[in-house]
Amino acid sequence: MPEVYVNSLLFIAVFVVVALGLPIVAFGLSRLLRPHHFYREKGETYESGTEPFGTSWVRFKVKYYMFALLFVLFDVETLFLYPWAVVFDRLGLFAVIEMFVFLFLLALGLLYAWRKKVLEWN
Amino acid sequence: MNAIWLPEVIVLAGAIGTLAFGLAARRSKAMSDLAMTLALITVVVALLPTVGLIGTVEEGFAGAFRIDGLTLAFHLLILIGTGLVLLIARDGRSDGVPPQYLAEYAALLLFAALGGMLIAAAADLLLLFLGLELLSISSYVLVGLKKTHLGSTEAAMKYVLTGATATAVFAFGMSYAIGLTGTTDVYQIGQTMADAGFMARYGRLLFVAFFFLIVGAFYKLASVPFYMWAPDVYQGAPTAVTAFLATVSKASGMALVVRLFLGSFAWVAWEAQPNVIKNFWSESTPYIAALSALSMIVGNVLALKARDVKRMFAYSSVAHAGYLIIPLAAVNPMMIDQIVFYLLAYLLANVGIFAVIDQVGRDRGSYDLSAFSGLYHRAPLVAWALLLFFLSLAGIPLTMGFFGKLNILLGAVWGGHFVLAGLLVVTSVISYVYYFAVLKQVFMRPGTTERPLAFSFGTATVIALAVLGTLLGSLFPGEVMRTMQQAFDAVQMFGIYQGRL
Amino acid sequence: MTPSELMQYLLFSAMLFVLGLFGALTRRNTVIVLLSIELMLNAANINLVALSRFLPGGAENARLPHPSLAGDFSATLGQTVALFTIAVAAAEVAVGLAALIAFYRLKASPNVDEMDSLKR
């Protein structure tokens, strides 16, 4: 069905035009409408008065890696919970028990991390 | 209805229990030792139901989990191998692994063994994949357990990077196989492919899938397309882990290849042109034969110039992977028995040798060939045991390894692969050179010290058991082979194709 | 979707896979190598999801030239397998980064070509 194909391409083209147009129009309009009154403090990153220092390219502490790892634990947990949540009423009790076995094993992982003092800073 | 999942569940419970035990017993050395013992007990306990299941053919979990002769044979290989490795690890605790990680060490070995067992028991591509990953990821951590040792962490890094690439290759092949056939069941994939017209339509993509799957699986075997990781990883890892990689991990890889290749792909036939029937097996044989030949040649030749013993055994294991692949190219009625028998001979000899390497290496602080000089004067009994292991590995007549190689050789000749048979003989002769280089150090070179080398209880037990097994296999090869054939009937794996389980 | 679109998905995933493989084999920085491996695994996911749309029972299967392949499979099979691949990829990268941190502490370099202490 070539015409369907062309239509879907047309849709993408329209989408691109709109997506590009929106920010251009928005920024352009605001540039035209806003008053032009500049003073030094306006150019600072934070207008709250806090002086920024250093560059924005700072290294993150390796310690954060542990939290990232724990995040992965729960991230993967939700990964399997979502499809399970969709169908568990049709699969019956067995699926519920299976999922709780899975959750139990993951909880053991968390318990392990906790006992290994991963959750403590320092 | 048997509890076919019992061995796996025992190992899983043991692994978690060992971890928990390690948590409870932080920083207490005696308790950490107990964690290792706990893991050892787990393996022994898991052996009981495995032996009890012999002769069972049964499927569980909607056909994803399958117990048959192939499964049980590999379960026994993996459990025995893991038990012996645990014995080495238990006494080799000063091998650079920080003592506070002993419980993790034991638990990870159990998790890796569980992965291997799942591979052996899986009749489902997804479960195969997960088992492979459990084995791989545990192995990555095991290799890098010596956290403050540059070689160990470097080896772990290389293992992760190459292993993850191989996993991705395997997953990509898997995606085609599952996506096109619409099932994850290994046997159903084969049956769907055998449907009339299926191969004509999707044949090319399925060949791609087959290629990627085999390449990903051969990585675990450390055969030629993917062997480069082996030398570095074997050298850098703690010695017990090296023994694990060389034996259990390789056996699991073999289980994966056999189930995947013979279970789903090998027998699929299609009509390529009118009246020209082709099948996967005959189409892929030349490539598999080439990989086998290259593995034998590359492994044995590169081993010649290795000075580090662990590195030498990495190359040697590449060569042995080549021998093990021969039956896959030369398909014959006895192929699985040949593979299992050879794996058993290889496992016993290798674990014994690594037990000695571990003890000697820790005593001398070096794994160089020269560390073995004068070993005969320091520990004569162990030197004789070492001689037996080396003869078996090299395939000197009337040892277990010889009968293993003979079986493979006969299979290759039966299948008409005379080149492979010839290469098997020639490369075995090449392997004598570097095996005897070690033996020369042990028996003929004077050592820097004559001080008797004491072997710890675990290491000595491993060596004794390996000697016992190798002797049994050497003296009664026919009986061992027959018992194996009866207990682990390999044909059971094809039951599905004959309308049975 | 039409069958030619399935072909586009397969081509796209093949390209992604080759790109990832190229990156995994050529890049120096370990983190980028790990990212490349993610690309390869995601190529497998795209394959799985695209093909599962065309499985018997899948939303687009009826538009294939040969609609029924065999049996009655679940249309969500490919997507389910993809979830497992994602989980495996996460675990693998977690271990990879841990190994990298251990390596970096000793060598202060994330580069693959500086892992050369093991020789002979």
Q: Name the residue type at position C55.
A: L
The answer to whether the beta carbons of residues B259 and B74 sit under 8 Å apart is: no
In sign, the C-alpha dihedral spanning B490, B491, B495, B500 is negative
Q: Is the pLDDT of residue A1 over 60?
A: no
Q: Is the pLDDT of residue C108 over 70?
A: yes
Q: How far apart are CA B113 and CA B75, in angstroms?
A: 9
In sign, the C-alpha dihedral spanning C57, C60, C63, C65 is negative
Over residues B30-47, the pLDDT tens digits come to: 667 788 889 999 999 999
A82: nearest CA partner in chain C: C83
Please state, in angstroms and as integers, the Cα–Cα distance from residue B219 to each residue in B88, B157, B238, B329, following that order.
25, 16, 20, 17
Nearest CB to C107 within list B150, B168, B174: B150
Instruction: Find the length of chain C.
Output: 120
Q: Write the CATH number for C43.
A: 1.10.287.3510
**Angle made by CA atoms B293, B299, B301, in degrees to the nearest 5:** 100
Q: C51 is in which domain, residue-wise?
A: 3-114
Nearest CB to B175 within list C47, C69, C92: C47
Instruction: Summarize the confidence of residues B172-176 as an average pLDDT.
Output: 94
Contact A62 C91 (CB under 8 A): no
Contact B23 A108 (CB under 8 A): no
Q: Is the pLDDT of residue B201 over 90?
A: no
Collect all residues of chain B within an 8 Å Cβ-Cβ radius of residue C26.
Answer: none
The answer to whether the beta carbons of residues B456 and B328 sit under 8 Å apart is: no
- The distance from CA B316 to its chain's CA centroid, rounded to whole angstroms, is 13
**Angle made by CA atoms B130, B133, B135, in degrees to the nearest 5:** 110
Residue C53: partners with Cβ closer than 8 Å, 6 or more residues away: C1, C6, C59, C60, C61, C75, C78
Q: Is the pLDDT of residue C69 over 60?
A: no
**pLDDT of amino acid B494:** 81
CA distance A3 to chain B (A): 27
Mutate to test the interface with A, among B23, B130, B133 (most CBs of A within 10 A): B23
Q: How far apart are CA A77 and CA C120, in angstroms?
A: 44
Could you tell me the pLDDT band of residue B97, with boundaries at 50, 70 and 90? confident
Q: How far apart are CA B174 and CA B180, in angstroms?
A: 10
CA distance B138 to chain A (A): 15
Collect all residues of chain C within an 8 Å Cβ-Cβ radius of residue A4.
Answer: 2
Contact B235 C118 (CB under 8 A): yes
- Classify strands B58-60 and B276-279 as parallel, antiparallel or unpaired: unpaired
Q: Is the pLDDT of residue C58 over 80?
A: no
- The first and second tokens of residue B222, run together, are 């450390």
**pLDDT of amino acid C67:** 47
The CB density around residue A11, as the number of other CB atoms within 10 Å, is 10
- The first and second tokens of residue B495, run together, are 């039951």
Average pLDDT, chain B: 90
Residue C83: partners with Cβ closer than 8 Å, 6 or more residues away: A79, A80, A83
Number of H helices, E strands in chain C: 3, 0
Could you tell me the pLDDT band of residue C56, with boundaries at 50, 70 and 90? low
**pLDDT of amino acid C55:** 66
Q: Is the pLDDT of residue B362 over 90?
A: no
Residue A15 sits at the chain C interface (C-beta within 8 Å): no
Contact C87 A62 (CB under 8 A): no
Over residues A72-106, the pLDDT tens digits come to: 778 888 888 888 888 888 888 888 998 999 899 88
Residue A94 sits at the chain B interface (C-beta within 8 Å): no
**pLDDT of amino acid A47:** 67
Q: Is the pLDDT of residue C70 over 90?
A: no
Average pLDDT, chain A: 81
- The first and second tokens of residue B485, run together, are 């054939």
Contact C118 B236 (CB under 8 A): yes
Per-residue b/e over B385-407, b at no fewer than 16 CB within 10 Å?
A: bbebbbbbbbbbeebbbbbbbbb
Collect all residues of chain B within an 8 Å Cβ-Cβ radius of residue C81.
Answer: 126, 174-175, 178, 184
**Angle made by CA atoms B371, B372, B375, in degrees to the nearest 5:** 130
Contact B19 A116 (CB under 8 A): no
Could you tell me the pLDDT band of residue B411, with boundaries at 50, 70 and 90? very high
What are the sequence ranges of the domains in chain A? 3-43, 62-115
Could you tell me the pLDDT band of residue C74, with boundaries at 50, 70 and 90? low
Task: Tell me which residue has tokens 């990627």.
Answer: B212
Could you tell me the pLDDT band of residue A49, with boundaries at 50, 70 and 90? low
Contact A80 C94 (CB under 8 A): no
The answer to whether the beta carbons of residues B401 and B346 sit under 8 Å apart is: yes
Could you tell me the pLDDT band of residue B80, with boundaries at 50, 70 and 90? very high
Instruction: Find the length of chain A.
Output: 122
Residue A68, CB-side half-sphere exposure with 13 Å CA sphere: 13
Q: How far apart are CA B389 and CA B240, in angstroms?
A: 17
Over residues C1-18, the pLDDT tens digits come to: 456 778 888 999 999 999
Q: Domain count of chain C?
A: 1
- The first and second tokens of residue A57, run together, are 């390219």
Instruction: Summarize the confidence of residues B473-493 as an average pLDDT.
Output: 88
Q: What are phi and psi of B487, to 5 degrees?
A: -70, -45
The reply to whether C32 falls in a domain is yes
Instruction: Summarize the confidence of residues B456-462 as an average pLDDT.
Output: 91
Task: Tell me which residue has tokens 């050892």.
Answer: B40
Weakest mean pLDDT among B151-165, B442-456, C92-106: B442-456
CA distance C97 to chain A (A): 8
Collect all residues of chain A within an 8 Å Cβ-Cβ radius of residue C101.
Answer: 62, 65
Mutate to test the interface with A, among C77, C81, C97 (most CBs of A within 10 A): C97
The reply to whether C120 falls in a domain is no
Collect all residues of chain C within an 8 Å Cβ-Cβ radius of residue A83.
Answer: 76, 79-80, 83
Q: Is the pLDDT of residue B98 over 50?
A: yes
Instruction: Summarize the confidence of residues B81-93 as an average pLDDT.
Output: 88
Per-residue b/e over B174-187, b at no fewer than 16 CB within 10 Å?
A: bbbbbbbbbbbbbb
The CB density around residue B27, as the number of other CB atoms within 10 Å, is 8
Over residues B308-358, the pLDDT tens digits come to: 999 999 999 999 999 999 999 888 888 888 999 999 999 999 999 999 999
CA distance A116 to chain B (A): 8
Q: How far apart are CA B332 and CA B410, in angstroms?
A: 10
Collect all residues of chain C within an 8 Å Cβ-Cβ radius of residue B180.
Answer: 51
CA distance B16 to chain A (A): 9
Weakest mean pLDDT among A80-89, B86-95, B384-393, B397-406: B86-95
Weakest mean pLDDT among B76-85, B230-239, B485-494: B485-494
Over residues B12-23, the pLDDT tens digits come to: 999 999 988 888
B179: nearest CA partner in chain C: C51
> Could you give the ipTM of this predicted complex?
0.91
* Percent of chain B scoring above 90 in pLDDT: 60
Task: Tell me which residue has tokens 């309308």.
Answer: B499
